[in-house]
Structure 1
Amino acid sequence: MANHSTFTADDAVELAVIERSGFVESRHVGSAVVLAGDGTVVTALGDIHAPVLARSTLKPFQALAAMRSGVPLRGAQVALACASHVGSLDHMDVVEGMLKAAGLRESDLQCPAEWPQDEEARAWLVRSEIGKRRLACNCSGKHAAFLWACVVKGWDKHSYLEPNHPLQQLVRQTVEEYTEERSAHLGIDGCGAPVAAVSLTALARAYSHLAKAPGGGSGQLGDARAATVATSMLDYPWAVQGRSRDNTVVMRELGLLAKGGAEGVLVMATPQGASVAVKVLDGNRRATTLVALTMLAAADAVDIPEVARVLDDVVQPILGGGRPVGRIRLGRAVSALLD
C-alpha cells in the first residue's frame, strides 16, 4: 500500500454496529490491535500495519518534545499540552497561564479561534460579546507549549507550525523514537500543526512506552519527562478532555492512559504497558471507546466488571423521540474475542 493512503474497507473488519428499534442501520468497519506489555501483538483485527494519520493521539509526544526543549510545564499544564479539551473556563485559564508564563498573548497562538464545546464557557463568551477565542480551540494547550518552547530556545515564533521548524523536527524525532517506526507521511492537522502517519501497531507501542514510564520504563523511553506526561494525564484527567467526556472518565475511573483523535482514532494503555489502538475507517468515533475497552478486557489487561461500569457511563444510547430506542453494540470481529 502506498504511504499516502490508509487501509481500505477490504482490509478492515466490522468493529461495531448501530442498532435502532431492533434493526441494524449502520456498521463501522476498521482495524485495531492490542499489544502486551512487552510489545508483542496479542490481538490483531484488520490491517494493523497500514499507516493512519494519528491526529490528536500524538499530543502527548508533542508535549514531550516541548518539555525536552526546556519548557517547565507542571501539573495541569502538562495535561493541557496533551489535551483535546472542550474549552471550559478552567481549560482556558490554564492555557492563558501558560502563555503568561512564557511572556506571550492569545494572539500569538496560530490555532483557529473557535467556540468552546463546553456549554457554560460558550454561554459566557456569548453574554460577554467576546465571541470565538483561540484559547477555546481544543488544541490551544498544545500550541501554547509549542510557543513556550520557541521562547525558551530562541526559535522563531511565527513559523512554529512549519514542518522544517526546529521544534517540529524534534516532535517528529520524538514520535519516531516512541513508535519505533519511521513516519510514513506528514500531513497538516485540523489545528494547523504537522501530523504524522504511523501504523496502529506503532501507535500502540508508543503508548505502551509512555504508560510504563512512571515505573521506570526502558532506557531513555522511561525518562522523567515521559513519566511526568503520563502521571499528569492521570492526575488531571479533566484537563485532557472534559469532566464527563469519555477519555477523562476512562482515565479517572480505570487509571488507563486514553487519548482520542479525529477521524476515529483512539489509543489506550495500562500502567503495565498493555495497549490498544483503534481506527474506525469512516472516521466516526462513537464506538471507539466500546471497542478499545472490550479488546483490553478480552486480553485480560483490564477488569471486565469495571469496564462494564465505565461503558455504561460513556457509550451513548441511540435515541428516538428523546428516549433510548437502540444501542451501539460490538461487531462480530470484536464480540468473538469474548467467546
Structure 2
Amino acid sequence: MTAPVAMAELWRGGLLESTHLGHAVICHADGEVVRAWGDPNAVIFPRSSCKMLQALPLVESGAAEAHGLTDRQLALSCASHSGAALHAGTVGRWLSDLNLREQDLRCGCHMPWDTEERDRLIRAGEAPCQLHNNCSGKHAGFLTLNRHLGGDAEYLEIDHPVQRAVKAAFEEVTDETSPGYGIDGCSAPNFATSLQGLARAMAFFAGARDDGGPRERAAARLARAMAAHPEMVAGEGRADTELMRAMDGVAMKMGAEAVYVAILPQKRMGIALKITDGHVPAAEAAIARLLVELGVLDAAHPATRRRLDAVQTNWRGIETGVFRTSDGFTA
C-alpha cells in the first residue's frame, strides 16, 4: 500500500505546525487515471460525497419523472444541506406531495446548521425535526423511490429494495464490488469503495450524456441539477455552495471525515480525495487546489481564497498563520 502524501499545511510564525496527509485520484470518463497521489486503491467510506450515486436509482428508475421532481428537488436529494427554512420547507412540501409526513423519514433529528433557522427555533422554544436533518433531501428521494418500487416503510434496511437498488448502482458505476458497508450518521448504509472507484464514478457522471442510456441520462441530470442549484446542496457560507457558484457547470460534494468529490463535465473528469485524519478544512483546500490547477476555478475568487492559502487570524483580527496546500500537490 502506498503511503498518503502531504496535501495541506498550517504555518505559524514561519514554522510548520501541522501537516495533513491524504489520497487523491483524478479519472477521465474513458476510465484512464489522469493523476493519483498516495494510494488510489485505498478503501474508504465515501460518506455523503456519494449522494449522487445513492440518487441514481431515483432518476434511472423513472420514479423522479413519475412524481414530477424538479431539478431543485434532485439537487436536494444529493445534499448535505444546512437545515435552513429553504431546505426544510422544500422537503416538507415534497413529502406532502407524496402524502407522507415528517415521521415517515428515518434520518433522525439534529439542530440545523443554518444559524437563522437555529435561532428561530430557539426563540420559538421549538425542537428541530427530521426535516432539519442535513440528509432529509436524500431520504425524501429514498421515499420517492420506495413509493415507485412498492417497498415497506423501513427503506434503510440493507435488504430493502431501495438499498438493493442503491448498492447495484454504486457497484456498477464504481466498477468495484464493495467490500462492505457502515451505517452513516443519517442511518443509511454507506458502501465502501476505493478512491479510484469513487473517482471513476465521478468521471462517469462527468461524461454522461443526455442522449445516452437511462443511467447516463440520470447521471447527467443529477450533475446538472447540483451545479445549477448549489444553494440546495449545502447552504450559505459553506464550501460546496460557494465554490460551485464560482465555477461553470462543476458539481462537487463533501463527505464527513474529509472526503471530497468533483464532477467536471467540460473536462470529462472526476476527482475523489480523502484526508486521512478527517480534517475537513484540509480537504476543502486540497479540492480547491485541484480545481484551480485544472482551470475550472479562479484562484483569485473570494470563495477560493477563503479555503486556499488562507490567512489565519485570531479573535482580535491579528494574523497568526497561513493554511495552504503542500508543495508538490498540484494537478
TM-score by length of 1: 0.89
Kindly report which structure 2 residues correspond to 1:82-121, keeping only aligned pairs within 5 A, or say none.
82-121=78-117
Counterpart pick for 2:26 among 22, 30, 34: 34
* Equivalence for 1:141: 137
Kindly report which structure 2 residues correspond to 1:1-339, keeping only aligned pairs within 5 A, or say none.
11-69=3-61, 70-71=63-64, 72=67, 73-157=69-153, 159-214=154-209, 216=211, 219-223=213-217, 225-255=218-248, 256-271=250-265, 272-298=267-293, 301-303=294-296, 306-309=298-301, 310-315=303-308, 317-323=311-317, 324-334=319-329, 337=330
Cα drift, residue 235 of structure 1: 1.2
1:230-278 CA distances to partner (integer Å, 9 max, x unpaired)?
A: 1111111100001321111222211311001000100012113222211
Cα drift, residue 229 of structure 1: 0.8
Question: CA contact under 8 A between 2:223 and 2:263: conserved in structure 1?
Answer: no
What CA distance in whole angstroms lies between the structure 2 residues aligned with 1:141 and 1:188?
18
Question: CA contact under 8 A between 1:30 and 1:280: conserved in structure 2?
Answer: yes
Cα drift, residue 185 of structure 1: 1.6
Cα drift, residue 332 of structure 1: 3.1
Percent identical pairs in the alignment equals 36
What CA distance in whole angstroms lies between the structure 1 residues aligned with 2:156 and 2:305?
39
Question: CA contact under 8 A between 2:29 and 2:206: conserved in structure 1?
Answer: no
What CA distance in whole angstroms lies between the structure 2 residues aligned with 1:195 and 1:184?
11
What CA distance in whole angstroms lies between the structure 2 residues aligned with 1:222 and 1:67?
10
Question: CA contact under 8 A between 1:34 and 1:295: conserved in structure 2?
Answer: no
Cα drift, residue 222 of structure 1: 1.7
* Equivalence for 1:4: none
TM-score by length of 2: 0.91
Q: Mean Cα displacement is larger for which, 74-83 or 289-298?
A: 289-298
Give the residue type in structure 1 aligned to 2:233: V
1:123-154 CA distances to partner (integer Å, 9 max, x unpaired)?
A: 11112221122111110111111122222322
Cα drift, residue 183 of structure 1: 1.0
Question: CA contact under 8 A between 1:213 and 1:230: conserved in structure 2?
Answer: no
Unpaired segments of 5 or more residues in structure 1?
1-6
Number of residue pairs the alignment of both structures matches: 322
What CA distance in whole angstroms lies between the structure 2 residues aligned with 1:166 and 1:303?
38
Aligned Cα root-mean-square deviation (Å): 1.9
What CA distance in whole angstroms lies between the structure 2 residues aligned with 1:253 and 1:331?
23
What CA distance in whole angstroms lies between the structure 2 residues aligned with 1:88 and 1:214?
33
What CA distance in whole angstroms lies between the structure 2 residues aligned with 1:294 and 1:36?
18
1:202-240 CA distances to partner (integer Å, 9 max, x unpaired)?
A: 111111111232455x655422x2222111111111000
Q: Which runs of 4+ in 1 moved over 3 A?
A: 218-221, 313-317
The residue matched to 1:329 in structure 2 has which SS? strand
Question: CA contact under 8 A between 1:207 and 1:273: conserved in structure 2?
Answer: no
The residue matched to 2:177 in structure 1 has which SS? coil
Q: Mean Cα displacement is larger for which, 316-325 or 43-52?
A: 316-325
